[in-house]
Structures are given as structure tokens and as C-alpha cells.
Amino acid sequence: MVSAGAARHKALFRRAASGLLKVFRLRAPKGRDKKIRLRLQMPDLDALLGAWLNEVVYLVSSGKIVPQKFVIEEIGLNKNGARLCASITGFKPGRGLKMREIKAVALHGLQIKKRGGRLQVSFITDI
Amino acid sequence: MKFQDMGGCRWELPREGEMRVPGLLFADKSMLPKMESEKVAEQVRNVACLPGIARFSYAMPDAHWGYGFPIGGVAAFRQEDGIISPGGVGYDIACGVRLIRTALEYAAFKEKIPALLNIIYSAVPAGVGESGPLRLDKKSIRAVFEHGARWAAGRGFGSSSELDFIEDAGCCREADPDCVSERAAERGRTQLGTLGSGNHFIELQETEEIYDEAAASAYGLFKGQLVVLIHTGSRGCGYQICEDYLRLMLSASQKYGIRLPDRQLACAPLASEEGRRYAGAMFAAANYAKANRQCIAAAIEKAVCAVSGMGPAQAGLGTVYDIAHNMAKFELHELDGKKKRFCVHRKGATRAFPPGHEEVPQRYRAVGQPVLVPGSMGSCSYVLAGMEQAMQLSFGSVCHGAGRLMSRSQALKQVKGGQLREELAEYGVEVRAASLRGLAEEAPCAYKDVSMVAGVCESAGLARKVAKMRPRGVIKG
């Protein structure tokens, strides 16, 4: 179970991704620098957070990038639900990448809650 | 929560609220408090709220908390008004087990177990991020999705004569590679023939006890025999397909007005385009899993020949059975006196067809389909046989293993991997593990008593015990 909290959605999404990264226990030889930009659209913010985290799972698991910095450029609601623009900077892993296998971030119980003026979320990684 | 004792290890959860059918738990009375505290009963009730569900929402005796559906959950949905849900199958689509028999006696082969483990451990990549011996191009991965174990056998991984002893004869014909995303295909290209991590394993086992001589004889099992059990699934491509379609199903659930008690139960009508596409992709992942186990089995058989100095025929190598325990399948079942088509979701549950069923291989048709039930590496595993009653009681379904008793983090707090390896060695179990931490997470104390689970299945009339095997060598990812 990974938990994250923040005052605003942008910071919450960033911290949740950083928390997820710790679960991977990555040991990655450094390759060339890399930046990946993402755009996501989902029915609501909870689903958007799930999709964002699972993008990170995919990118790390498939060796596309070892993230060092998450930047949430834009997040918000529109007539189709919730959308996100973000960038991930880091490096392409070299040979000998080691990590824990994470199948996915489960949607079960993934709900952004507001407590005492702060946004909080807990999520489960399927290992 | 009130359970009504229906007798025969069956406990009903009466309909209430938005439940469309009652729940039915197969359990010993002593298992109920744990199932309740772990919210298995609550999850059974949530599944019972989904459209088109028939008879009951079920939990097998190894059931434990899962995401959305409980692990050990079974639900059959009517073709005409039912749904299909990626969460009812799980992330590791078609994760399953294959049992390989040999003609070798464990006692005579005992000294060679470490050498055999070493060869298998180097031939079958285990652990995270490990890629396999194959690099599949786009055309080949498509062929794997389409033809499953048949593709592997056609390329020299094992024998085509063994395909009859794989569920669906090694290939789900409903697979549609066009429904698999580029991402999922990409993740599958380098992982064929790999074990993975988590609870996946290869075990060298000794057949310790035979309960049903006729069935054991049909399956080619005898007391004292060396057998090999493989547990793995569709690897990264299966996880990706599940994730791809869960996203799609969240929108589809809204579109079709399906109220979800839990997001992980996101689903679409079987008749919808979204439902049809998920089914096509899921069957493609199932074919990948079958091909994966076929490749691993071929590597194991080669290792047995190398260590024993015998050829495959002399070593008596053959597949007892290969079956998935995370799947949704279209099956004909009788309801209200009529045969109807259902989509039976089994998440951490095994299909168990009875004697005489046309899906059971001809060689086993008189005794019923083999059901492979792995226990923990410190206990034992069982081979069961499907029984007629299961068709009425559980849409021909039974348990899939011991079921977890504690989470991985709980297990890590109690067990040290190095110490566990030594303890298992004292108990007569040699271990090769990619990670000691991973080994500790899978400690025997983290699992329920598999003998009790198998006993409940037998008492409930779902399946009968055929053989019990004791692990002697374990490879963990």
C-alpha cells in the first residue's frame, strides 16, 4: 500500500508517482538522458490517477525510462471527464536493469479523498 | 455477516441490497471468520450485483481478498444479458499450472536433484526483468497470440502429441490478435519461456500418496514418482492487456449504465464491442500463457534427459495436464433444465469438468479432468479430479491452490529468506531463488493449509483427491 498527500492535485499526482517508484526498488545502470511527455483523458480524477500511475508502471517495466523527475503540467476537468498533461524526465536504463515486478496499480479502493484541506490517496500495487 | 449453513461445506450469503443472486462460499466452518475479516464475503456480494450473473456469486475454499473479485472467486454470466470483466480474470491472464510426469523414482534420483535444479535454473530465466531465449518479431508474437502452445510445439518446443493434455488442446480459438495493443505485444516479445517472479515457481516433487488408483493410473501417476509442476502465466503482456482494458471498461461501464460497487469490477456487456474486444485480447493472452508454459516444459524435459542420461521416452516424460486458473471462458451449462452459454469467470479458481465431459481429453474421460492444486513450498500439492456434482454446484469450478493467509509485507516481517532456505533444506527441499526477499514473501506460513482446502473441495463434492505430491526442489522467481 502506497500513500500520498498534497494540497493540490498536481502535487498529489507527482508524489503518488514518486511513491510508486520506490516500490520498484530500481537498480539501473545509467544510459542516455530521456524525456517522455504524456497526455491522458479518463472519466474522472480517480480514474485519471490510476491511468497515470499505470503509465509509470508500463514505462518503467518495459525499460523505456528510469524516472528522476515527474512534472504535472496540466490537470483538470473538461466535458469528457478529467485530463492530464505531464512529462517524465530521467534516463534510459543500460544493461543489467534490476527491479521488482509490478503487474499494475490496482483500481480497487483508489480514491482521492479530502481530509483537513489536504488531498490524500492510498493505492495498492499488484506484485 | 450472516452465513446460512447449506450443508456439505456450503455457506450461503442471502441476497440483500443490490445483489442479483445470493453468494455461496465453499468452506469449512473454521475458515469463515478469516474469509469475513478479509472481506471475501463483501467482495462476493459486490460481484453478485453485476448484470446477468447466474445462480450464485461463488468463493472457493482457498478464497482470499483480491482486487474487486476475491481471489478464489467464480461467477457465470448469461450470454444474452451478462458482462465480461477484466477484474474477474485478474492481471495475470491465464496464469496456470502444468504437471509433467516422469517414469523416474524420486528415491533413486534424489542425489541428482541439485544438478537438475541448476540446469533448469539456468535454462529458464526467473525473476524480474529477465528476458527469455526467444526474441519474437511482430509476425511471431501475433502467431503466438493466435496459436498458443501449438506455435511453440511447431517450433520444436515439446511434442505436438502432448497438446491434447493442455486445456483447449493448447489453443483458444476465440483469440483475436487485432485486439491486443502494441504495448502488450511489445512486452510479450522477450518474455516467452520465462518464469517471472511473485508466486510463480517450478517444483520438483515426489508423489507421496495415491488416493484414487484408477484416476492416478489414467493420469500416469504412481507413488514415489518424480514429477515437475510449473506455475506461471502470460507475463507482462497479460498485465498490459488487463490494464488496457480496465481503462476502456471504466468508460464502458458508464456508457452502458452499469453501477460498479468497486472500480476494479469495471465491465462491459458480453454483446458489446468493448466486451468482444476484451474477450479477443484475453484469449490471445491465454494463448501466450500456454506457449510460455510449453517452452518452459520443453526446457525442463531437456534438463531431465541431460541429468538422467535417458531419452524422453525412456524417462517417461509427458504432460499430465496444463490448465489456467485466471480466465473467463464461454461454456455450456445447464440452467433450469436447458443448456445455455455462459461466460464463466474464474479468478484464482480452476475449471473442473467431470467424467464423460467432451472437453476432457479422451484418455481421462472415464475419470474426469485433472485439477492441479499447488500448495506452498513447505507443504504439498494435490491432483484432484473433476466430479459431476461440480457442474451443478459451481459451474464446474474448484479451488486453485492453498490461498494466501498473510500479505507479502506481513510475511516479510516474520520470515528471513536465508533462514527459510536453510529450514527448507533441513526439511528436504532444495531451493534456487532469484531473490531471498521474494522467497520470504512466499514462505509456507504465508499460505493456508492446502490439505484442508483440498479436503473441503472433496467434502463439497466439487472434486475428489487423486494424488498428493511433496516438493523436493524449488525454483522461485
Tell me how many residue pairs between chain A and chain B have CB atoms under 8 A apart: 74
Contact in structure between B26 and B390 (CB atoms under 8 Å): no
**Distances from the Cα of B451 to the Cαs of A75, B215, B226, B401, B456, in angstroms?**
52, 19, 20, 10, 9
Topology, domain B4-405+447-476: tRNA-splicing ligase RtcB (3.90.1860)
Written as nine digits, the cell of B119 is 540446469
Domain count, chain A: 1
Whether residue A54 and residue B243 make contact (CB cut-off 8 A), yes or no, is yes
Whether residue A126 and residue B250 make contact (CB cut-off 8 A), yes or no, is no
Whether residue A110 and residue B263 make contact (CB cut-off 8 A), yes or no, is yes
- Best mutation target, B65, B71, B249, B263, to test chain A (most A CBs within 10 A): B263
The pLDDT averaged over each successive group of 10 residues in chain A (127 residues) is 93 96 89 94 94 96 93 92 96 86 89 92 90
Partner A contacted by B239 (CB < 8 A): yes
Of B68, B92, B129, nearest to A97 by CB-CB distance is B129
Can you give the pLDDT at residue B25?
A: 97
Q: Domain holding A36: CATH number? A: 3.55.10.10
> Using the 8-state DSSP alphabet, how is residue A7 labeled?
S
Domain ranges of chain B: 4-405+447-476
Strand partners, B333: B340
What are the DSSP E strand ranges found in chain A?
A: 2-6, 30-42, 66-78, 81-93, 104-105, 113-115, 118-123, 125-126
Q: What is the C-alpha to C-alpha distance for residues B448 and B457, in angstroms, rounded to an integer?
A: 14
Can you give the pLDDT at residue B130?
A: 60
Contact in structure between B400 and B442 (CB atoms under 8 Å): no
Whether residue B198 and residue A98 make contact (CB cut-off 8 A), yes or no, is no
Can you give the pLDDT at residue B128?
A: 62
- Best mutation target, B67, B181, B274, to test chain A (most A CBs within 10 A): B67
B10-13: strand order across its sheet: B4-7, B10-13, B23-26, B53-64, B71-78, B338-347, B326-335
Chain A residues with CB under 8 Å of B239 CB are 61, 103-104, 126
CB atoms within 10 A of CB A107: 30
Whether residue B128 and residue A126 make contact (CB cut-off 8 A), yes or no, is no
Can you give the pLDDT at residue B126?
A: 84
Reading phi first (left if > 0) and then psi (alpha if -120 to 50, else beta), residue A70 is in: beta
**Which sequence positions of B are flagged as catalytic?**
400
Partner B contacted by A23 (CB < 8 A): no
ipTM: 0.84
Phi, psi of B215 (to 5 degrees): -70, -40
Can you give the pLDDT at residue B251?
A: 92
Q: What is the C-alpha to C-alpha distance for residues B225 and B206, in angstroms, rounded to an integer?
A: 5
Whether residue A110 and residue B186 make contact (CB cut-off 8 A), yes or no, is no
Write out pLDDT tens, residues A1-28. 899 999 999 999 999 999 999 999 888 8
Half-sphere exposure of B136 (CA within 13 A, CB side): 27
pLDDT, one tens digit for every residue, chain B (477 residues): 689 999 999 999 999 999 999 999 999 999 999 888 889 999 999 999 999 999 999 999 999 999 899 999 999 999 999 999 999 999 999 999 999 999 999 999 999 999 999 999 999 988 765 677 788 999 999 999 999 999 999 999 998 999 999 999 999 999 999 999 999 999 999 999 999 888 899 999 999 999 999 999 999 999 999 999 999 999 999 999 999 999 999 999 999 999 999 989 999 999 999 999 999 999 999 999 999 999 999 999 999 999 999 999 999 999 999 999 999 999 999 998 999 999 999 999 999 999 999 999 999 999 999 999 999 998 999 999 999 999 999 999 999 999 888 888 899 999 999 999 999 999 999 999 888 888 999 899 999 899 999 999 999 999 999 999 999 999 998
Q: What is the C-alpha to C-alpha distance for residues A63 and B452, in angstroms, rounded to an integer?
A: 42
- Best mutation target, B128, B183, B194, B256, to test chain A (most A CBs within 10 A): B128
Parent domain of A88? 2-126
Of A43, A124, A127, nearest to B67 by CB-CB distance is A124
Q: Which residue of A has its CA nearest to B255?
A: A43
